[in-house]
Chain A
């Protein structure tokens, strides 16, 4: 994917991420600038979760997604402490990053894992659910179902 095309798609898919949009969802937008999408999820009585998408070559490749503490430092495996009830937050360690990872279609760590080698991103990348906002929404929804 040409970098200019990747940047244009990134910008088109994040143009609606306004401060009011973030506030209504309890999100904190740390960075929305190609190729980084860096967002914290917050909710009363919950420990915030921060995810940082690295969207180089979007959407030829899915984003690499880091799972972070609110201060931007990465969680270490095993995380989350209560396991993986939603199926999305894998305690890891991932063979490439050596950290917990997002185990969901649309995460580079999912598609590069040997367990999902046959589930190609090319088969999913054009689906409307798999925009940057769609992927972020799905991770947020999974996080909301947690309890820590």
Chain B
């Protein structure tokens, strides 16, 4: 019993060390289905760069990454933890609109 409780505690701590990440872009999802498990202290940009390579995104300069509901802007050069993100993280990434008025 005690062993199981300790094991559950360790699993929870291990889970808190990671996030499950999906990135949706103008060309589709990365990964194509499900999520990638990445360290919570990893910079968001690492996963965005992987998405850009996998989905062959030609130029992502100026693109905005958001997460949460309602969507909030996140800083790709900070980690998930530093952006206040945990658990399953769904990132939308793309160009910002340019209305003509």
Task: Pick from A89, A115, A131 the residue with the most CB of B within 10 Å.
Answer: A131
A25 within 8 A of B: yes
CA distance A87 to B100 in the complex (A): 6
Kindly list chain A residues whose C-beta atoms are within 8 Å of the C-beta of B90.
Answer: 24
Contact of A141 among B57, B59, B69, B96 (CB under 8 A): B96
Q: Is the interface of B mostly helix, strand, loop or mixed?
A: loop
* Size of A's binding interface in residues, CB under 8 A: 37
Stretch with Cβ within 8 A of B (4 or more), from A53-61, A63-71, A102-110:
A102-110
CA distance A141 to B94 in the complex (A): 9
Taking the closest CB of chain A, its distance from the CB of B87, in whole angstroms, is 15
Interface size class of B (residues with CB under 8 A): 20 to 34
Kindly list chain A residues whose C-beta atoms are within 8 Å of the C-beta of B57.
Answer: 128
Kindly list chain A residues whose C-beta atoms are within 8 Å of the C-beta of B25.
Answer: 16, 133, 137
Q: Are A134 and B94 in contact (CB under 8 A)?
A: yes
Taking the closest CB of chain A, its distance from the CB of B59, in whole angstroms, is 4
Q: A24-B24, A144-B70 are in contact. List 16 more A-B contacts (CB 8 A).
A: A13-B27, A16-B25, A16-B28, A17-B28, A21-B24, A24-B22, A43-B70, A87-B98, A87-B100, A88-B100, A103-B100, A104-B100, A128-B59, A133-B27, A138-B95, A142-B99
| Interface of A toward B, CB cutoff 8 Å | 13, 15-18, 20-21, 24-25, 43-44, 84, 86-90, 103-105, 110, 115-116, 119, 127-129, 131, 133-134, 136-139, 141-142, 144
